[in-house]
Chain A
Amino acid sequence: MFARLVYESFRRQKRRKLLAGVAVTLGVAVTTAMIGVATDIGDKISRELRTVGANLVVTSSDQALDVKIGGVNLKPANDGGYLNEVDLPKIKTMFWRNNIVGFAPMLPVTVSVSPSGSAAGKSSAELVGTYFSRAVRSGAEDFVTGVRTTHPLWHVDGSWPADTSRDLLVGQTLARRVDKKPGDLLQFDGDEYRVAGILSTGGPDDERMYAPLALAQHLLGRPGALQSIEVSAITKPEDDFARRDPKTLKGAVYDRWYCSPYATSIAYQLQEVIPNSRAEQIRQVAQNEGTVLSRIQGLMLLIALAALVAAALAVSSAMATAILERRGEVGLMRALGAGSFSVGAMFLAEATLLALIGGSIGFAIGTGLAHQIGRRIFDQAIVVQPVLYPYVLGTAILVTFAGSALSIRKALRFDPVRVLRGDA
Chain B
Amino acid sequence: MSLRPADTSPQETIALRRSRAQHRPSMFLRMLVRGVRVRRGRALTALLAVVVAAAVSTAMLNLYVDVEAKLSREFRNYGANVVVAAKDGQPLPPDALSVAQKAIAERGIAVPFAYAVAHTATGRPVVVAGVDLEGAKRLDRWWSVTAWPSKPNDALVGTRAAAALGLSGQPFDLVYNARTLHLQPAGTLRTGADEDSRVYLALPEFTAWTGVRPSSIEISHTGTSAETAALVQGLQEGLPKTQVQPIRQIVEAEARVLGKTRSSLYAATILIILTAMLCVLATLTGWIYDRRADFAIMKALGASEGLLRVLFAAEALSLGAVGALLGFAIGVGVAAWIGRVNFHAAVVPRFSVLPVVFTGSLAVALLSALFPMSLLRRVQPAMILRGE
* B45 x A41 contact (CB < 8 A): no
Which of these binds chain A: B71-79, B104-112, B222-230, B233-241? B71-79
* A67 x B283 contact (CB < 8 A): no
* A69 x B275 contact (CB < 8 A): no
Please tell me if B53 contacts chain A, counting CB pairs below 8 Å. yes
- Which of A74, A151, A280, A421 has a CB less than 8 Å from the CB of B387? A421
Residues in B whose Cβ lies below 8 Å from that of A313 = 49, 52, 279
Please tell me if B356 contacts chain A, counting CB pairs below 8 Å. no
* B60 x A303 contact (CB < 8 A): yes
* B192 x A57 contact (CB < 8 A): yes
- Give A276 to B342 CA distance when docked, in angstroms: 41
Please tell me if A37 contacts chain B, counting CB pairs below 8 Å. yes
- Give A64 to B263 CA distance when docked, in angstroms: 46
Instruction: Write the nearest CB–CB distance from B225 to chain A, whole angstroms.
Output: 13
- Give A49 to B259 CA distance when docked, in angstroms: 12
Please tell me if A411 contacts chain B, counting CB pairs below 8 Å. no
* B117 x A321 contact (CB < 8 A): no
The residue on B at minimum CB distance from A15 is B375
Please tell me if B248 contacts chain A, counting CB pairs below 8 Å. yes
Q: Considering the complex, which residues of chain B in the window 160-187 have a beta carbon less than 8 Å from any beta carbon of chain A?
A: 160-161, 163-165
Instruction: Write the nearest CB–CB distance from A327 to chain B, whole angstroms.
Output: 9
A 375-403 to B, binary, CB cutoff 8 A, 1 in contact else 0: 01110000000000000000000000000
Please tell me if A364 contacts chain B, counting CB pairs below 8 Å. no
Residues in B whose Cβ lies below 8 Å from that of A153 = 248-249, 252-253
Chain A interface residue number, banded: 35 or more
Please tell me if A338 contacts chain B, counting CB pairs below 8 Å. no
The residue on A at minimum CB distance from B246 is A202
Please tell me if B148 contacts chain A, counting CB pairs below 8 Å. no
- Give A281 to B212 CA distance when docked, in angstroms: 32
- Which of B49, B71, B85, B163 has a CB less than 8 Å from the CB of A317? B49
Residues in A whose Cβ lies below 8 Å from that of B287 = 321
Residues in B whose Cβ lies below 8 Å from that of A291 = 74, 77
Which of these binds chain A: B7-15, B16-24, B124-132, B305-313? B124-132
Q: Which of A45, A153, A287, A321 has the most CB of B within 10 A?
A: A321
Instruction: Write the nearest CB–CB distance from A290 to chain B, whole angstroms.
Output: 10
- Not counting A324-B290, A376-B263, a sample of 9 additional A-B residue pairs whose C-beta atoms are within 8 angstroms of each other reads A23-B282, A30-B272, A49-B257, A67-B197, A203-B248, A288-B75, A306-B56, A314-B278, A314-B282
15 inter-chain pairs at a CB distance below 8 angstroms, sorted by A residue, are: A41-B264, A51-B249, A66-B197, A67-B125, A74-B117, A201-B248, A202-B251, A282-B193, A288-B74, A303-B265, A307-B268, A310-B279, A321-B287, A325-B290, A420-B387
